[in-house]
């Protein structure tokens, strides 16, 4: 098992992604799926993958896209890919290490625009309350509209008493076509 600093590795890899113009979102999604499987395998030097599982994790729907992207990640030195060509045994992957160390990440890069060192905390119930208020206001408005519409219908109907818009009768002739 390797000593991998999860955060430093991801930060370094994202930094590398931003510099590499060859990559598209499918490559990044595939790499993140492989990284997640590497994490689940406790950062072993090499681990086996199942193509269907990786495609599902990375949201890739085409086998040809999957194979093209994994081969390109291998060629561009993000991973080392050992295809198995055996449907019962998964391919072997070796993840290359980016910006890893055994120490804990202590500081962060500060910017000029930063106004404070802490994160602003917002109570979660504030958002829920706002959503509930908006929904209740919509329901009240809908009830008012329904009431106003029904009043207008009554006023229109009252001007023409006993109007039968459907032309129905009590004595029905079932031999007539509809």
What's residue 144's pLDDT?
Answer: 57
Angle at 29 between CA 25 and CA 33, to 5 degrees: 170
Q: Residue 1 falls within a domain, yes or no?
A: no
What is the Cα–Cα distance from 54 to 61, expressed in whole angstroms? 11
Q: Identify the pLDDT of residue 99.
A: 76
pLDDT at 105: 44
Q: Which two tokens stand for residue 144?
A: 């008012």
β partners of residue 48:
92
Domain count, the chain: 1
Asked, for residue 84, whether it belongs to a domain, the answer is yes
What pLDDT score was predicted for residue 106? 44
Decide if 34 is inside a domain: yes
* CATH code of the domain containing 11: 1.10.10
Evaluate whether residue 21 is within a structural domain. yes
Q: Would strands 79-82 and 47-49 be described as parallel, antiparallel, or unpaired? A: unpaired
Strand partners, 86: 89
- Please answer whether residues 146 and 154 qualify as being in contact, where contact means their C-beta atoms are separated by less than 8 angstroms: no
pLDDT averaged per 10 residues, the chain (length 178): 82 94 96 95 93 96 96 96 89 88 45 48 51 58 55 52 66 76
Task: For residue 86, tell me if it sits in a domain.
Answer: yes
pLDDT given at position 3:
79
Specify if 141 maps to a domain.
no
Structure confidence at residue 75 (pLDDT): 96
- The domain in which residue 26 lies consists of 6-95
131 within a domain of the structure (yes/no): no
Residue 85: predicted pLDDT? 87
Does the residue 90 lie in any domain? Answer: yes
């Amino acid at each position: 098992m390797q000593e991998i600093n999860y955060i430093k590795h991801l930060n370094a890899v994202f930094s590398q992604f931003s510099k590499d113009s060859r990559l598209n979102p499918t490559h990044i999604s595939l790499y993140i799926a492989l990284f997640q499987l590497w994490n689940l395998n406790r950062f072993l030097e090499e681990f086996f993958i199942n193509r269907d599982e990786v495609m599902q994790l990375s949201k890739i729907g085409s086998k040809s896209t999957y194979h093209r992207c994994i081969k390109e990640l291998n060629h561009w030195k993000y991973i080392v890919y050992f295809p198995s060509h055996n449907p019962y045994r998964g391919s072997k992957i070796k993840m290359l290490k980016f910006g890893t160390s055994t120490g804990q990440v202590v500081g962060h890069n500060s910017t000029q625009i930063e106004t404070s060192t802490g994160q602003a905390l917002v109570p979660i119930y504030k958002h829920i309350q706002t959503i509930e208020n908006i929904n209740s206001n919509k329901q009240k408005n809908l009830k008012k509209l329904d009431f106003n519409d029904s009043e207008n219908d009554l006023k229109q109907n009252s001007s023409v008493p006993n109007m039968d818009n459907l032309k129905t009768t009590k004595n029905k002739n079932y031999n007539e076509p509809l």
